[in-house]
Structure 1
Amino acid sequence: MPRFWANRTWSWKWVRIPLLVISLSCTPSQGFGTADVVASGRAMVPSCGGIFDLCGYSDRQSGKELIPKLFERAILFSEGLAAVRMNGLFGYIDTTGKVVIEPRFDLAGPFHDGFAEILVGQQTGVVSESGEVVLEPQFGRSTPIMGDVLIVRKGHFRPKRPPELEELESFDGLYTEYGPMGLYSLRKGWLTEETYEFRRFERGRPGYVWARDLRAKQSRFGLMNNEGEWKVEPMFDTVQPLFDGRAVVSVKVKDTETRRQLWGAVDADGKLAIPIAYDWLSYWDQGYSVARLNGEEGFLDTGGSLLGGRFFEKVERDLQGKPLKVQLDGKWFGITADGRLVDVPEVVNCLLLPKIPSARAVFRSYRRTVIGGCAAPTSACLSTLSSKRSRVFAAGSPGCQTRRRMPGAQSAQMAKVAVSPIAARLTTSTSCPITIRRNSTLTRSEAASSGCGPT
């Protein structure tokens, strides 16, 4: 019998949301990760099912089976290897399905710079791509982050999920609740004391991490290198990762009798690129951040200049993150790339369904809902609106249950996919052009270019 399971999606540019999908009782572990899929050399994702409830790997776009369903659990490929469970223990396979690291671990994580975290009993260690255990299990966490440098916590592993969903997250998904940690080198041993909190500074193969000493009287973040030394001395109260070459930071300041936060941004070297002078800054996307100052908003570029040369009452981006419109004297205007004010583009909110037979797209245009066919089956996206009541239905999909007939639908067979209130996307094709953000809208031209438009 089919059951529902929660698949968690992560991309440092997108929002992470729970998504209920129909699956058989075997659960593919971890969400879709484009970087991992590309690094494998083939667009392979876990797929589970069959009479024996096992997992294999399929082509991400076509759904064609590439590695047979032989495993109890299957985790996404990273650096050409994927952790799989056989007879209760984890090992690793390559992209041909060949076992290259024999199953002998209770849990196994993704590879990063040639190393992966493994769990034996209640403690973690590290295995290399050759299958050699280069760090015997002895820590609560041993997460590779920069070459042979790990983020390590002493003690025992602390499960966060049910056994069938448990995983060893990469640094990007590491829980801060694990407590103080330290930097540890496979060659040199401890680089710092185990008193720090770490946060990501850049994606891929970082040269630095945000760090702060939790013992300090005034615990602030600075940039630390892979030797455990400060690149930028601790001076920030909150920090964010790099986006478009800028990382948002803030400092708490005392203003007369009140305390407030001021926001700015640093560049890829940790140097201050945007003055710490704003009431709030969003992360940079498509070359712009949304900046707030004295109750007004504006689009701030990476050089610190305002689009249009001024602030407005409110501003909004489009689905791709580009500046879309601004409010001035209570009226909305569109805004061009050179800062000119124009008429607001006509918009339509579009939901693209994944590739399901007879899938239909649901459009919400102002106050009416219309049903339209999606003309671009290769652009398989599931996008959600920010409404708490948003629901997506697909007609005629296999294994679905009868729910209710939607206006204009040709079949009463509906597969119901519930989405979270936070707008985001689950992409099943690397060529998918649509991204739904919180409170974002889609212009009709964008809908048409995505192959999806009202009929």
Structure 2
Amino acid sequence: MPAFRIALAVLSLAFVGGCASPLVTLSARPSDAVASAEDVARGAELFPFRASDGTWGFVTADGEVAVPAQFDGASEFHEGRATVGVGGRVGAIDPSGRIVVEPVYDEVLAFADGRARVRVGTGRDRRYGFVAPDGQEVVAPTLPEATVFRSGLSVVRLREGRLTLVQKILIQIGGGSPSDRTVAIDPNGRVVLELPHDEVKVFSEGLAAFRPEKGRRWGYLTREGEVAIEPQFEGPALAFTGGLARVGQGGEIGYVNPTGDFVIEPQFEAAGPFSEGLAAVRVDGQWGYIDSTGVMVVEPRFERAGAFSESLAAVRLGGAWGYVDTEGGVVIEPAYRSARPFRHGLAVVFRGGRPLLVDSAGDLVGPDR
């Protein structure tokens, strides 16, 4: 950075904070709140819909309105809770439509492991925290970085103590801060693991991809912080699903097992996670599907391809989305702008900007269909 820009940064920081300023810290309040089994079961059978006036509600698999349209936006239920928009902010409801997480956040992600990640602010001012199913802030939104919970852990970035002027300058010009710590916390916000690495991704199936300090290659850590797979992959290094993780080596993607051995050698331009024994892969610009041994079971011919759910996968062909079965046969003709996975016999598809529900035969279900 040119000297005059550094000088300007020093000057501006001196005016706004002097020689030291407080840093964000981990503020936690343990909670034993859980969503009831009834809420989880009821929520799994509800689907979001948008009414003709633009508001959102929820319907059953039979198309009956369960929660009248009243929200600015709505997501699917996860663990008995669904994210909704109210007055430009975001909260969450239970299956009866009762607000349980007050709409005071800029973002509320789906619940996982009994916690939803919340965000306030945007850009460099964004901060993350976690709420319980009853809406209590278990971790106040003060964290500059935080992954969603998986395997009972979230990887978060902490800054503790007070920033010196030099540290503030480093942050201003894009550098790190010596006060930064990467740790893993449990669902009650307790630090259970120090992670002295440059980067650690979300835990999945008990493992998390990591890159050591000043290292260029990726490996995997256990929930105890031990190295399970030595850093050896050029990247990307993605989460484990179905016992396999996608990793990049030599400019191509393959799949490794939890010991780091390639089960499917790097050979694909891009690849998706395994689901129901199949994974989408791209070869020469087209997508098809392989099985867990790497055999191509659906030859590449799609423009895009999603994961299988209830034996159907969304694919794009001719610029539109439809669904195919596990042998690649078209079950629902491509006719939609986008399409989501099937759940309980129904899937959300979009025609223009309007969400619709279709069943496995491709018939529209629900109000205003």
TM-score by length of 1: 0.45
2:49 partner amino acid: S
Aligned partner of 2:18 in structure 1 is: none
Aligned partner of 1:431 in structure 2 is: 345
Q: Does the aligned pair in 1 maintain the 2:148–2:202 contact within 8 Å?
A: no
Aligned partner of 2:68 in structure 1 is: 68
Aligned partner of 2:19 in structure 1 is: none
1:222 partner amino acid: G
Q: Does the aligned pair in 2 maintain the 1:150–1:184 contact within 8 Å?
A: yes
Matched, 1:229 2:226: yes
Compared with structure 1, are the counterparts of its residues 181 and 385 closer, same or farther at alpha carbon in structure 2 (3 Å cutoff)?
A: farther
Q: Which runs of 5+ in 1 are unaligned?
A: 1-36, 156-178, 253-260, 293-298, 308-315, 319-323, 326-348, 350-378, 393-415, 434-448
The counterpart of 1:141, out of the listed 140, 145, 149, is 145
Aligned partner of 1:208 in structure 2 is: 207
Matched, 1:274 2:263: yes
Compared with structure 1, are the counterparts of its residues 429 and 289 closer, same or farther at alpha carbon in structure 2 (3 Å cutoff)?
A: closer
1:116 partner amino acid: A
The counterpart of 2:155, out of the listed 148, 151, 156, is 151
The counterpart of 1:49, out of the listed 39, 48, 51, is 51
Matched, 1:91 2:80: no
RMSD after superposition: 4.7
How many residue pairs match? The answer is: 259
**Displacement after TM superposition at 1:237 (Å):** 1.6
Matches within 5 A, 1:290-309: 302=292
**Per-residue CA shift, 1:19-60, capped at 9, x if unaligned?**
xxxxxxxxxxxxxxxxxx986543222223355x4322122x
**Displacement after TM superposition at 1:92 (Å):** 2.5
**Displacement after TM superposition at 1:79 (Å):** 0.7
Compared with structure 1, are the counterparts of its residues 426 and 220 closer, same or farther at alpha carbon in structure 2 (3 Å cutoff)?
A: same
SS of the equivalent of 1:144 reads coil
2:74 partner amino acid: A
1:140 partner amino acid: P
Q: Distance in 2 between matches of 1:142 and 1:287?
A: 30
**Displacement after TM superposition at 1:187 (Å):** 0.9
Q: Does the aligned pair in 1 maintain the 2:193–2:224 contact within 8 Å?
A: no
Aligned partner of 1:386 in structure 2 is: 317
Compared with structure 1, are the counterparts of its residues 134 and 148 closer, same or farther at alpha carbon in structure 2 (3 Å cutoff)?
A: farther
Q: Does the aligned pair in 2 maintain the 1:90–1:107 contact within 8 Å?
A: yes
Aligned partner of 1:105 in structure 2 is: 105
TM-score by length of 2: 0.54
Q: Does the aligned pair in 1 maintain the 2:252–2:267 contact within 8 Å?
A: yes
More relative contact order in 1 or in 2 (CA 8 Å, sep 6+)?
2
The counterpart of 1:123, out of the listed 108, 120, 127, is 127
Q: Does the aligned pair in 1 maintain the 2:200–2:210 contact within 8 Å?
A: yes
1:386 partner amino acid: L
Q: Does the aligned pair in 1 maintain the 2:82–2:110 contact within 8 Å?
A: yes
Q: Distance in 1 between matches of 2:105 and 2:52?
A: 25
Q: Distance in 2 between matches of 1:243 and 1:117?
A: 21
